[in-house]
A and B are shown apart, each in its own frame.
Chain A
């Protein structure tokens, strides 16, 4: 018994001593004037090489170029999403950003409770009331949505023009409306330049797990390449890594999504349909600094540079100038409103 007490006293002494150690670089609490921004990522979101990391890049740029002070929160579980937003809102941040559609309900509620704080939601999906009608966001909430179908349209046209096959492939992650936008745009883009081309569209599953299943992605891609497809566009998170692996093995082409995925399989990535989450986050911070922040739903498409496809030194050799010109002409048509890209199947 005495030894146990001795152990306890020793531990207590060490702990108490350590409490008073203060490393020189320890960050003090936030104080004073300045542009304070809070970002809440999704559970397990950081490191996704997709939109959570995109939001991080945008915020880091805001720190460098706008002198913003940014606090990041990574929730440990679902309940923490609301708690994280609330924590930041209660501290009186100038702008609080929720990254991912999953924050929609929480953002809608908190923006009402904290009318003096500005909120932004990436991929924000307006909640629906009991009757199924969309509830528009309040004036202090900017819903940043992307017209993924427009970017997908351009890579569809590109794929059909360089694919050298009447069959094009699409591999989606989870079979649900957000990903249907990519498929619908891709199909329309293919049809626009090749009326008798056919798109084989497959999904990795019906649950969020479908975004994290490279094995399934590779399986689907191999069977599509086998059936005569030469180019596959994926919108499937890390499942797409399997699609790239299949492209490498078969010597075919794949199209990346969200961010520039060229580095995942150099030489086999025709292009990537990029979603400029970094840009959206940066401009949201900028608008708060300039006092031009506005609530409402913002659809970021080709015209707003919210979506685009990659064309640079890495893939110039894969895309002939005539093809590039054709695709750019289509971009102009969409921006001018002469082509309306469908977003549902």
Chain B
């Protein structure tokens, strides 16, 4: 709690804590309005998530995808760019991973097939991210508009490719990949049996660490953050802002694309239409709550994954809309409390 960084401790820990408490109280009231006991519902929610290995596995699985999409949004925001395209980038990454897995022969050894599919996922998402990046750098087109609209284009294109060309039988998914599948956590620890959690989580942790290193330990990362804080000053300081923005959005797309690995290589071993539905947009919330920090994002991802999986566990007694409302309340509470806590903390110091 050093004085040289005023309020950072309070903002980093107190604000999310207060936001969570606000959300918990709103949740209490919602649960009561459904005629249920908040104690029962929260107990059931915790039992169904952190209370057993299977529930925990489901939380870890969901958090893995959300870590990637959260990082994709956070990296963009660090460069001053609002990437709302994680939904489409994630889907494109999953699709590219599945294509790569289908293209290689079944005899391909894992040490070749897995990296190939992972790189394909990053490239799939990266290409989708590069489009708004290029339009921003070249024409100054608003990345918000372009990334939102590109979601529709990408999802429609992928749906068409699967529905018209690649699906098997009466399903909406591609054939299973020939090679490139990664082990599930259940293969290493049988207690996780049945859960979708898989070793992609290692990739997620490594990726978060790599993003942290890139942002705070490299020249390119410095350029990116400088552009985000004050583009004109960065430009004046000799940073090629256009190039930095292009790179940031392309990298963000690649990060979201990597999320596709979790589903395609780790869980179902095929691309299914709609697999990414919602995870991209939730990435915005993850980045916000995770304070756009590579260490905060995985923690925020765990939080939202817990709410999501917990919602399923309590679905029998409260409608799923409660979970959707709760997610929204967490986001709003964080958005409100962070500046408020900052203000109060600053005021407190002046008095002291």
Q: A23-B35, A74-B319 are in contact. Are A208 and B274 (CB under 8 A)?
A: yes
Instruction: Give A95-113 interface residues, CB cut-off 8 Å to B.
Output: 101-102, 104-105, 113
Which of chain A's residues have a CB closer than 8 A to the CB of B171? 101-102, 104-105, 125, 127
Q: Which residue of A is nearest B327, CB measured?
A: A76
Q: A78-B272, A79-B196, A208-B172 are in contact. Are A11 and B21 (CB under 8 A)?
A: yes
B18 touches A18 (CB 8 A): no
Which one, B36, B61, B169, B320, contacts A23 given CB within 8 A?
A: B36
Which of chain A's residues have a CB closer than 8 A to the CB of B36? 23, 26-27
A125 touches B169 (CB 8 A): yes
Which one, A25, A76, A86, contacts B35 given CB within 8 A?
A: A25
Which one, A8, A26, A84, contacts B312 given CB within 8 A?
A: A84
Chain A nearest Cβ from B205, distance in angstroms:
20
User: Is B278 engaged at the interface, CB distance under 8 Å to the other chain?
Assistant: yes
Cα of A127 to Cα of B42 in the assembled complex, Å = 38
User: Is A176 engaged at the interface, CB distance under 8 Å to the other chain?
Assistant: yes
Q: Which residue of A is nearest B159, CB measured?
A: A207
B341 touches A4 (CB 8 A): yes
Cα of A86 to Cα of B196 in the assembled complex, Å = 12
Instruction: Give A1-47 interface residues, CB cut-off 8 Å to B.
Output: 1-4, 7-8, 11-12, 14-15, 18-23, 25-27, 43
User: Is B22 engaged at the interface, CB distance under 8 Å to the other chain?
Assistant: yes
User: Is A75 engaged at the interface, CB distance under 8 Å to the other chain?
Assistant: yes
Q: A101-B171, A105-B171 are in contact. Are A76 and B274 (CB under 8 A)?
A: no
Which one, A76, A78, A207, contacts B320 given CB within 8 A?
A: A76
Cα of A206 to Cα of B194 in the assembled complex, Å = 33
Which one, A3, A15, A26, A80, contacts B25 given CB within 8 A?
A: A15
Interface class of chain B by DSSP: helix
Cα of A20 to Cα of B28 in the assembled complex, Å = 10
User: Is B87 engaged at the interface, CB distance under 8 Å to the other chain?
Assistant: no
Which one, B14, B315, B345, contacts A73 given CB within 8 A?
A: B315
A8 touches B18 (CB 8 A): yes
B312 touches A87 (CB 8 A): yes
Cα of A1 to Cα of B7 in the assembled complex, Å = 10
Which one, B10, B164, B279, B309, contacts A206 given CB within 8 A?
A: B164
Q: A79-B62, A206-B163, A207-B160 are in contact. Are A130 and B175 (CB under 8 A)?
A: yes
Chain B nearest Cβ from A260, distance in angstroms:
26
B24 touches A21 (CB 8 A): no
User: Is B336 engaged at the interface, CB distance under 8 Å to the other chain?
Assistant: no
Cα of A86 to Cα of B54 in the assembled complex, Å = 10
Which of chain B's residues have a CB closer than 8 A to the CB of A90? 54
Which one, B37, B159, B277, B312, contacts A78 given CB within 8 A?
A: B277
Tell me the number of A-to-B contacts counted with CB atoms below 8 Å.
156
Which one, A1, A7, A12, contacts B345 given CB within 8 A?
A: A1
Which of chain A's residues have a CB closer than 8 A to the CB of B308? 76-77, 80
Cα of A130 to Cα of B105 in the assembled complex, Å = 13
Q: A23-B35, A73-B312 are in contact. Are A8 and B21 (CB under 8 A)?
A: yes
Which of chain B's residues have a CB closer than 8 A to the CB of A8? 14, 17-18, 21
Q: Which residue of A is nearest B276, CB measured?
A: A78
Q: Which residue of A is nearest B29, CB measured?
A: A18
Interface string of A108-125 (1 = CB under 8 A from B): 000001000000000001
Instruction: Give B164-189 interface residues, CB cut-off 8 Å to A.
Output: 164, 167-173, 175-176
Instruction: Give B54-95 interface residues, CB cut-off 8 Å to A.
Output: 54, 58, 61-62
User: Is A201 engaged at the interface, CB distance under 8 Å to the other chain?
Assistant: no
Cα of A104 to Cα of B169 in the assembled complex, Å = 11
User: Is A83 engaged at the interface, CB distance under 8 Å to the other chain?
Assistant: yes
A83 touches B170 (CB 8 A): no
User: Is B324 engaged at the interface, CB distance under 8 Å to the other chain?
Assistant: yes
B312 touches A174 (CB 8 A): no
Instruction: Give B255-271 interface residues, CB cut-off 8 Å to A.
Output: 263, 267-268
B14 touches A177 (CB 8 A): no
Which one, B40, B62, B320, contacts A26 given CB within 8 A?
A: B40
Q: Which of A1, A130, A206 has the most CB atoms of chain B within a 10 A radius of its CB? A: A1
Chain B nearest Cβ from A104, distance in angstroms:
7
Chain A nearest Cβ from B338, distance in angstroms:
12
Cα of A7 to Cα of B164 in the assembled complex, Å = 57
Q: Which residue of B is nearest A78, CB measured?
A: B275
B277 touches A75 (CB 8 A): no
Interface string of A207-221 (1 = CB under 8 A from B): 111000000000000
Chain A nearest Cβ from B14, distance in angstroms:
6
Chain A nearest Cβ from B313, distance in angstroms:
7
Which of chain B's residues have a CB closer than 8 A to the CB of A49? none
User: Is B39 engaged at the interface, CB distance under 8 Å to the other chain?
Assistant: yes
User: Is B5 engaged at the interface, CB distance under 8 Å to the other chain?
Assistant: no
Chain A nearest Cβ from B24, distance in angstroms:
5
Which of chain B's residues have a CB closer than 8 A to the CB of A209? 156, 159
Q: Which residue of A is nearest B157, CB measured?
A: A207
Instruction: Give B318-352 interface residues, CB cut-off 8 Å to A.
Output: 319-320, 323-324, 341, 344-345, 348
User: Is A53 engaged at the interface, CB distance under 8 Å to the other chain?
Assistant: no
The 10 closest A-B pairs by CB, nearest first: A125-B170, A207-B159, A18-B28, A11-B21, A19-B39, A22-B37, A1-B348, A71-B316, A74-B320, A206-B163
Other than the given A72-B316, A77-B278, 5 more pairs (CB < 8 A) read A19-B28, A76-B320, A82-B196, A105-B268, A206-B164
Hey, which bits of chain B sit against chain A, CB under 8 A?
Answer: 10, 14, 17-18, 21-22, 24-25, 28-29, 32, 35-40, 42, 48, 54, 58, 61-62, 156, 159-160, 163-164, 167-173, 175-176, 194, 196, 263, 267-268, 272-275, 277-279, 308-309, 311-313, 315-317, 319-320, 323-324, 341, 344-345, 348
The contact sample of 29 A-B pairs, CB cut-off 8 A, is A1-B344, A1-B345, A4-B341, A8-B18, A14-B25, A14-B28, A19-B28, A19-B38, A21-B32, A21-B37, A43-B274, A73-B312, A74-B319, A75-B312, A75-B320, A78-B275, A78-B277, A79-B263, A86-B54, A87-B313, A104-B171, A125-B169, A126-B169, A130-B176, A132-B168, A176-B167, A178-B170, A207-B273, A208-B172
